[in-house]
Structure 1
C-alpha cells in the first residue's frame, strides 16, 4: 500500500491591496472571552476617503448577552503597538497546504456600560438637538486635535459673550431706573455734539482773547518749544534762493512756503515763527504716512522729545506679525488736522486760508469745513488772485470772540433737509 503523500506547505502573502481586507485581532481589557460563539461583531469604516488621516479610522463594536464592547484604532484609546509593529494572520488550507497571510490590526475592546451606550430609540433630547450641536458631538468623538481646540475656544467665547450680555443688560436696566429715559436721551444728544471735539486740544470757550481759546502751551510745551531751536534754524536763516529751490523740488507744502516768504524781520518774532513753521511742516508730513514701524522713521533731525510727542499723541500703537508699530488711523489724521489749524491760527493772527491748508493736507473741502466748524471758527469766502489774471474762491477761517456754537456735519445735514 503506497504511503499517502501530503502536499508541501507554501506561504502566500496577500499584501494590503484594500483596507477592507485587513484582518482584525481583538483583546478584551476586562478579561478573556469564554464563549466566542456568543459574540456579534460589527466593523465601521470611515467614509472620508480624501483625508489620509481619517480614511484608515475604524471602530469595532461587539455585543454579548451581558455586555457591549467597543474599540477603535484612533484617538486616546487606540493601541500604540499598531504603529510600532505589524501583525499578521495566516489561514492554512489543509488540502492545498497553502497558507494565505494577511495584514492584521489589533483592537482593545472595552466594555460599554448601559449609561454610556446609545439607545436604539432617539431620546427627546437628541431629537431637539440642532445641527450645530450634533456636529459638535461628532467633533468631540472623532475630530482632530485642531477641531477639538477650535470647539473648546468657541464654547468659551460663547459663555463669555453670554456673561457679558447679561452684565450689560443688567447695567443698562440699573442706569435707566436711576436716571430715567428723558435724561439718557438728553445725554446722548449732548454726546453727539461733542464727538467732533474729541480730537481737539482743550478749548476755553469763555476766554476773553482769541489766543486764550486754544492756548499755545497745549500745542507745544515750553520744553518742546525749546527743543525746536536747532532743527528750525534752517527756516530761521532761509534765503530767497533756498525758497525758490524748495518750490522747484516741491519739498514743502504751499502753506509752509508762503509762511517762509513772510517771515518777520524782528529776531525774536522770526525765531518763534520759524519754530512754528517747522513743527507745522512736520505734522503735515506725519499725516501723509500710514504706519511708522520704527521710532526713528520720522527723520534723524527730530529732537527726542518731539519724536516721543508725535508718536504718543498722534499715533496708535498696534501689534502686527510679531512686531510693534505705530498706526496713523483716520481719527489720528483728524487730530493732526486740528492741531495744524490751531498752530496756523497762532502764526497768522487767528485768520487762515483753509483752502490752502485743505489742499496741503489732501482733504476734501467738506471734511475741512466740518473740522473748522467743530473748532468754532467763523467761515467766510474770499476771492484770491491767481496767475494769468484768474481768481478763485477760498474758504477763510477766523477765530474770534465770542465763539459761534459748535456745529457738526450731522446737524448741518439735518438742517438742510428741514429747510
Structure 2
C-alpha cells in the first residue's frame, strides 16, 4: 500500500500544472520567515502573529508589516521596513507553491521574506516610551516618526523647519534685546518723533532724483533719469507705429481697446515737427509700457511684456521696478506695492515731460487702477501743485478732475492726511 501511494504522488508531481493565482495586494502575500540565530528544532511549537499597517493611503506606509513569533524560551520579531528589512525583497520576488493532488495543479502565490531576530527583555524595556516621550505633543511625536520612517524629502523639510524655528527664535530674542536697549537710550518721545519723520520721508523713497533748486520745470526731474540715452535710442523701432499713427489708427485703438485712454489722448496731440514728434512718440511708448507693466503682479519668464521689447528696456523694467523673491523652489520677479508706487511716480514724471508739465491726474489715475487718495499722496510727495478742473465727457457732461502742475519754485513738501492724523494723536 505504501508503495502504491508513493507512485501516485510521483505521478501527480510529474503531471502538475502551474497556476499563478494573480498578483494579490501586498497585505495578502504569503509570509516566509528565516531566523537569524539558527534553525528551529520544533517549528510546530511556534506561535506567529502578523501585523499590517493601518495607513491605507500612503503608498510607502500601507505595505508595512511586522511578524512576531514566540516560543517557550524566546520572542522573535521581523519587519519589511526600516534598517532590519531584507534587501532581497526589493531585488527579487518570492513565491510559494501549493500542490493540489486532486486536480494536479500547483497553485503559486506571491510571498515575502522576513528575517526574525530574537527580542530580549532588555530590548523590551528600552522600547517602552520614556517619560519625556509620553509628555511630547502630537507635533513632536509626528516629527519623531518622520525622523525614523520618513522619506528623504520629508526629513529634509523637517530639518529646514527646525532650522527656521531656531533662527526665528534667535532673531526674536536679538530684536527684543535691541529694542530694549534703544528705548532705554533714546526714550519713547524721541522714538515717536523719529517714526513720524520717517513717515514723511517714505513717499520720497521711490522717486527719481529731484533737483529742488532747479530754475526750470524740466530740470526738477530730468528726462535722462527716466530714460538714459541708450534706452532712448533703443525705443526708435518699437515706437515707430506711434510716430506714424493716423486718425484711423487711433479710432482702431479705441475700438479694440488696445491702449489706455490717457495714452490715446496724448497720441491725438502729437506735434507735426519731426524731431519733437519722434521724442514724444518714444516717451508715450515707454509710458504705455509702464502702465501695462504695473498691471501685473508676478513676472513669469524672462520677458517683462512679451516679445518685441528691446533687451535694455526689459532689463530696466525688471531691475528697477521689481523685487526678486523666492517662491515654490524658484526665483520670481514680484511687483510689490512699493514697486507699484514707484512705477506710478515715474509715469507721472514722464507724462509731465510729454504734456508741458501739466497733466490730468484723474485720467492717469484711472488707467493705473489707483485710488484718487493714493494718487494725490504721490503727487504731493513729488511737490506738484494740485488744482481742480472740469473735464468734458463724450456725452457732453462734465465731471471734476484733479490737475497736477510742476512749476518752480517748488511748493513746500506736504504730508498726507494719514500722517497729519498721526501727529494729532501725539
Aligned to 2:266: 259
Distance 1:5 1:235 in 2: 108
Q: CA RMSD in A?
A: 4.7
* Residue deviations 1:313-348 (CA, integer Å, cap 9, x gap): 234567889998755454443322211101112233
> Could you list the runs of 5+ residues in structure 2 that have no partner in the other structure?
100-105
1:193 and 2:197 equivalent?
no
1:161 to 162, 165, 188: 165
Contact 1:377 1:404 in 2 (8 A): no
Distance 2:265 2:97 in 1: 95
TM-score (norm 1): 0.73
Aligned to 2:117: 110
Using a 3 Å threshold, how does the CA distance of structure 1 residues 388 and 73 change in structure 2: closer, same or farther?
closer
1:359 and 2:366 equivalent?
yes
Aligned to 1:224: 231
Contact 1:236 1:270 in 2 (8 A): yes
* Residue deviations 1:20-73 (CA, integer Å, cap 9, x gap): 895653312xx3368769x87552412527357655543234567987643223
Aligned to 2:293: 286
Aligned to 1:26: 34
1:46 and 2:20 equivalent?
no
Using a 3 Å threshold, how does the CA distance of structure 1 residues 283 and 152 change in structure 2: closer, same or farther?
closer
Instruction: State how many pairs are aligned.
Output: 405
Aligned to 2:303: 295
> Could you list the runs of 5+ residues in structure 1 that have no partner in the other structure?
92-99
Using a 3 Å threshold, how does the CA distance of structure 1 residues 285 and 71 change in structure 2: closer, same or farther?
closer
2:283 to 248, 252, 276: 276
Q: Cα offset for 1:217?
A: 1.8
Contact 1:45 1:56 in 2 (8 A): no
Contact 2:325 2:331 in 1 (8 A): yes
Distance 1:245 1:216 in 2: 31
Instruction: Provide the secondary structure at the position in 2 that maps to 1:404.
Output: coil
Contact 1:292 1:327 in 2 (8 A): no
Distance 2:67 2:354 in 1: 86
Q: Cα offset for 1:263?
A: 3.9
Contact 2:53 2:63 in 1 (8 A): no
Distance 1:233 1:81 in 2: 72
Instruction: Provide the secondary structure at the position in 1 that maps to 2:391.
Output: strand
Contact 1:23 1:102 in 2 (8 A): no
Aligned to 1:150: 154
Which sits farther off after the overlay, 13-22 or 330-339? 13-22
Using a 3 Å threshold, how does the CA distance of structure 1 residues 360 and 163 change in structure 2: closer, same or farther?
closer
Aligned to 1:95: none
What are the within-5 Å matches in structure 2 for residues 56-135 of structure 1?
A: 57-61=64-68, 69-82=76-89, 84-86=92-94, 88=96, 106-112=113-119, 116-118=123-125, 123-135=130-142
Distance 1:90 1:307 in 2: 73
What are the within-5 Å matches in structure 2 for residues 243-254 of structure 1?
A: 243=250, 246-247=253-254, 250-254=257-261
Distance 1:234 1:56 in 2: 67
Aligned to 1:396: 403
Contact 2:146 2:154 in 1 (8 A): no
Distance 2:334 2:128 in 1: 60
Q: Cα offset for 1:381?
A: 1.2
Using a 3 Å threshold, how does the CA distance of structure 1 residues 211 and 165 change in structure 2: closer, same or farther?
farther
Using a 3 Å threshold, how does the CA distance of structure 1 residues 67 and 289 change in structure 2: closer, same or farther?
same
What are the within-5 Å matches in structure 2 for residues 399-418 of structure 1?
A: 399-400=406-407, 401-408=409-416, 410-411=418-419
Instruction: Provide the secondary structure at the position in 2 that maps to 1:107.
Output: strand
Using a 3 Å threshold, how does the CA distance of structure 1 residues 159 and 114 change in structure 2: closer, same or farther?
farther
Contact 2:362 2:402 in 1 (8 A): yes
